[in-house]
Structure 1
Amino acid sequence: MHTTYSLHKISTTDDFGFKAADYSRFKFGDGDIAVNFGEALAIGFIKEHTDLLNTGHQLVVIPSPYSFIPTATFTLKNTFVSTLNRWLAKHNLPVVQENKVHRTITYKEDYGELNAEERLRLIGNDSFHIDKAFLKGKTLVFLDDIRITGGHERMIKKMIDAYELDNTVYMLYFAELVNDAIHPSIENYLNYFSVQTIFDLDDIINGGNFCINTRIVKYMLNYDHESFCVFLQNKSDAFINQFYDMALGNSYHTMESYRPNLNYLSNQLVSNNKKLA
């Protein structure tokens, strides 16, 4: 059985039910907003599916697929789980378990600006992997931040069929586009509402609760080289090291379009190490 739940239903571009500026900051690593979104989604899910939770079935929460660098959904997931666990423990029910969907392909294209057909073509050759034995007999809760065309959901269902999973499945979203008259590029509008240039990231990175994710790494690596170099001038060694290690973990050093910025980053690390020595 597959059930979809979304906290916010997007039927108009005039009112999303949440602030576009907040969503944009969340997508680029604002951890404080991720906390708010995760808590709100958990409260909505509990209210809507109390009967499910009261059965005492073991829930497994699974955020959107990623390779090495977590997605923005991963930070939302953390507070979703902690909020849900507090409710479950209060009612003497088993707390949730967690699992991961591994993905094998990464790409530089911006998913949010594509239409439904282009999205399917882009991710169609990707493959998702999960631990089937661990999931046996449990209720699966797949978590994502937004559902626009359902492309990723179809890939999850394709994986479910391939692994012959007979679990009860819930697809949870912070927001869902429910009006077909609105172009899927609305996702890009939301993603970049607060981030028009690379320098808009300063406020998020220096905000005190920054959580690095795939989007911000790809955005920075794909930015024009001169601006990228200027942007890094006032960044801490800790940030530069984390950024570089995340990029390597996703094999971005093998992508030609990312190499100029990554090479500069590598040279900065060598230079900083020499200064320390």
Structure 2
Amino acid sequence: MTVTSYSLHKITDAGNFGFSPDEYSRFKFGDDAVAEKYGVNLADGFIEHHLRGRKVPQLVIVSSPYSFIPTATFAMKNHFMFRLNRWLAANGNPVAQETKVHRTITYKEDYGELDAAQRLQLIGNDSFHIDREFLAGKKVVFLDDIRITGGHERMILKMVAAYNLTNEIYMLYFAELMNKSIPPNIENHLNYHYVKSIFHLEPIIQGEHFFINTRIVKYILNYDFDSFCIFLQNQTHKFVNLLYNMALGNGYHTIEAYQQNLDFIHQYLFNRKYKSIEHGN
């Protein structure tokens, strides 16, 4: 097994990332237009540095681990694959396949706020699962949006070892923190650079390029109740239903911190349904 790492942006200066912090923040909260830009740029970089001029074997693309609700990286992965497959097909190579890393634990803590030790402690009890037989004889590309301390990468490689995978592996990142004197919570600075409150989500959710992900669901469910109620009543019935379905799918109804906001959503949807029946719709 060989492991090759590639990142499009190398962060060495906390004041100059090589990409827009506002765009990154919007991406993390579901702006699919930014996910497309990132996916295309990462695919182009990967092709240029690792594929061009070579015979490419069967690739399998794997987004960052998730349970039911996809991550922001999943949206980037979609556009990465679209761009990559056009190049692969045009150059007589097999188009990429994809599979999923399943994870078993969900948590309410914000990973971006934590230092390296806290990150390892948080995810250390998680377990990742992948279809070993599907990967046989293929080159595996693990995709993530940013590498800060390498905690998730270590968990992926722990899974690789547990499954005795012998595949050639790529670890791909949109960005990577190279300057270790910059504290890991720089990730939190990026995550919330645009989204300063729940109301900053509205242009993203109500825009034409919205892709729901784990971060935005957790953020809304964990928000203070009064502001959450105001926010929710400004959203479409379609979005509120999607939010509730995703929350249940990830088991968030079992997390006490989310209970009050989820109960409000449930009551809100029940009242909407009751009023609709009452008026003969």
Q: Same fold (TM over 0.5)?
A: yes
Question: TM-score, normalising length from structure 2?
Answer: 0.97
State the Cα deviation string for residues 181-203 of structure 1 (Å, max 9, x = none): 00000000000000111000001
Question: TM-score, normalising length from structure 1?
Answer: 0.99
> Corresponding residue for 2:64?
64
> Corresponding residue for 1:7?
8
Pair 1:43-2:29 in alignment: no
> Corresponding residue for 1:103?
103
> Corresponding residue for 2:257?
257
Pair 1:187-2:183 in alignment: no
State the Cα deviation string for residues 242-268 of structure 1 (Å, max 9, x = none): 000000000000011100000000001
Alignment of 1:15-54 (within 5 A): 15-50=16-51, 54=54
User: Shift in Å at residue 56 of structure 1?
Assistant: 2.8
Q: Which amino acid aligns with 1:207?
A: G
Runs of 4+ in 1 over 4 A off after TM superposition: none
CA contact (8 A) 1:54 1:93 kept: no
Distance 1:20 1:31 in 2: 16
CA contact (8 A) 1:65 1:128 kept: yes
Distance 1:202 1:56 in 2: 42
3-state SS of paired residue (1:179): coil
Q: Percent identity?
A: 61
3-state SS of paired residue (1:54): coil
Distance 2:254 2:61 in 1: 32
> Corresponding residue for 2:201?
201
Q: CA RMSD of the aligned region, Å? A: 0.7
Structure 1 residue runs of 5 or longer lacking an equivalent are none
> Corresponding residue for 1:242?
242
Distance 1:73 1:215 in 2: 11
State the Cα deviation string for residues 221-241 of structure 1 (Å, max 9, x = none): 000001000001121110000
User: Shift in Å at residue 161 of structure 1?
Assistant: 0.2
> Corresponding residue for 2:271?
271
> Corresponding residue for 2:121?
121
> Corresponding residue for 1:86?
86
Structure 2 residue runs of 5 or longer lacking an equivalent are none
CA contact (8 A) 1:102 1:130 kept: yes
Equivalenced residue count is 276
3-state SS of paired residue (1:49): helix
